[in-house]
Amino acid sequence: MKKIIYFQDGTTTVIGIDTPVTLVDAQAKKIAAIRAHFESLVAGLKADAAPYEVETWAVQTAEYSAWAANNTTPTPYVSALAAARGMTLADLIAKIGAKVAGLASIQGAQHALEAAVNAATTQAELDAVVF
């Protein structure tokens, strides 16, 4: 007898009598699907920006974090960017902060799902992890 398992990422696995799938194998497959899903979310965010802009996100994030801790901290890159865009530094910092929070939410949700997958001790518990 064969059983077909359908995964949320659209893939299937056929299990036969002599090809059992272990919980560890199913967990690995589910984690791979979770990572692919969240990678596509981040790729969508990156698609809205020019590649060179994405390369500056680390600098923008560092300057945002420093400014958030002390708004007298120099922010050479973000200050120049704000001036070129005709925005106040505070307005651009707020936009950067929203993006940082959005990416953190995506990463946090991914980590929570992966933790739930890793904590599953039965197939039923694993099946209950949905995204």
Taking only the tens place, the pLDDT of each residue in 60-105 is: 999 999 999 999 999 999 999 999 999 999 999 999 999 999 999 9
Neighbours of 130 (CB within 10 A): 8
For residue 7, being part of any structural domain is answered with: no
Mean residue pLDDT across the chain: 92
Least confident of 18-32, 78-92, 103-117: 18-32
Tell me the residue range of the domain where 52 lies.
22-127
What's the total number of domains in the chain? 1
Query: Looking at the domain assignment, is residue 12 inside a domain?
Result: no
6 found inside a domain: no
Is residue 102 in some structural domain?
Answer: yes
Q: Which is nearest to 63 in space by CA: 92, 40, 42?
A: 92
45 domain-assigned: yes
Give domain status of residue 98, yes or no.
Answer: yes
Within-domain flag for 10: no
Report pLDDT for 11. 79
User: Which pLDDT score, from 0 to 100, does residue 51 have?
Assistant: 94
- Residue 95 has a pLDDT of 97
Kindly state the tokens that stand for 12: 């299937």
